[in-house]
Amino acid sequence: MNQKADISYFDKLEPDSPPVTIVWHARGNQGAVAATEILIILFALLIEMGFEFDGTSAPIFGAAKEGEPIRIYVRLSHDKIEVFYTPTSLDVIVIVDPTISRNVTLQGAHKDTVFLINTNKKPEEIARELKLGSKRIITIDATRIAKEELKSKRSHPNTTILGAFARIFPFLPLELIKKSIETKLEEKGHKVLDANLKAFERGFAEAEEFDGRTSDIPLEEVVPAKKLAWYDILPGASIPATGNFVVNKTGSWRTERPILDLEKCISCMNCIQACNDYSPDAPTILTQYGKDGLLKVTGIGYDHCKGCAACVTVCPNQAIHMVPETEERQ
């Protein structure tokens, strides 16, 4: 079993009590869905071992795969969960990407909500920045740890955050969580699996905690989300006008930003061909004709780039690399 955390969280699930409600706020391709799938594997193992336990996970996606904000609702209960709904009161809020709107990520918080935030800032610092009030906060620099351990072009912070997540639920056995990670990632090979297990262990060990329940941290009220009537909702997948991609600036979806080294770039145009969102009217790759009459790559259009890293993958001269978006914005 886990070593008991210094701050009291959820030491056990009580019979005949409402489920513990959790939401993960992330962006597409950060691995948050995979993390909650690992939790579902864990729940199944616990049930097989005879634990009185039930859990559910329900993701809500946007229209795009890369970068768009997503939510995954998770519920844990001592008793069997037989009623399914989107919770409006949340016991744990996991923020995988702190660049998502505060008004989105703080919806459903109550006075006892626990926050788990992927950030390089100290817990009290981020609590004051987001004006969380008197809350229990856990922070983990999961993006940095994932890059150090996974050493890939797109290092997902999900298993690192799972390690910090385990601090909130001391009754979840660490070894069983690792077994669930192995089940989910075994097809990726030993190298990837070992790196993710190491990231998980560091997430648990390096998470920092802050009990703000007796602090003077201000609480800024969140504007409730507007409830739309049926006639306010547009038909799904509708395109109201041609060329509307020009005005839909998806650059705010990025979790990582591509950086172009013009000295290495040979203007092969592989990046344009690989880009999921390239449009001459709203270019993600900027070009212009040189004095020799040849088309040259001159930069990256960050208004529309979602940070999918397809350009990095196809660049033959390693002229593009990814950096965390939070660092660039700071």
Give DSSP secondary structure letters for 147-168: HHHH-SSS---HHHHHHHHTTT
Q: Are 141 and 119 in contact (CB under 8 A)?
A: yes
User: What is the per-residue pLDDT across 193-227, written as a single tens digit (0 to 9) for each?
Assistant: 999 999 999 999 999 999 999 889 988 888 777 77
Name residues whose C-beta falls within 8 Å of residue 148's C-beta, 6 or more positions apart in sequence: none
**What tokens does 35 get?**
């993390």
CA dist 299 and 283 (Å) reads 10
CA-based nearest residue to 210, from 317, 121, 298, 302: 121
Q: Which helix (H) or strand (E) holds 117?
A: strand 109-118
**What tokens does 251 get?**
């650059």
Q: pLDDT of the chain along its 330 residues, tens only?
A: 454 446 889 988 889 899 999 999 998 888 999 999 999 999 999 988 888 888 899 998 876 667 788 999 999 999 988 888 888 899 999 999 988 888 889 999 999 999 999 999 999 999 999 999 999 999 999 999 999 999 876 778 999 999 999 999 999 999 999 999 999 999 989 999 999 999 999 999 999 999 999 889 988 888 777 777 766 766 554 545 545 556 677 787 787 899 999 999 999 999 998 887 787 877 889 999 988 889 999 999 998 888 888 899 899 999 999 888 877 666
Q: What is the pLDDT of residue 4?
A: 43
Q: What is the pLDDT of residue 228?
A: 72
**What tokens does 264 get?**
């290495």
Q: Are 196 and 150 in contact (CB under 8 A)?
A: yes
- What CATH number belongs to 250-329? 3.30.70.20
Q: What is the pLDDT of residue 9?
A: 92
Architecture of domain 20-214: 3-Layer(aba) Sandwich (3.40)
pTM over 0.75: yes
User: What is the per-residue pLDDT across 28-54, written as a single tens digit (0 to 9) for each?
Assistant: 888 999 999 999 999 999 988 888 888
**What tokens does 200 get?**
């998980």
Q: What is the pLDDT of residue 315?
A: 93
User: Which strands, in side-by-side order, build the sheet including 109-118?
Assistant: 54-60, 69-77, 20-27, 90-95, 109-118, 136-140, 208-211
For the chain, give every domain's residue range: 20-214, 250-329
Q: What is the pLDDT of residue 1?
A: 41
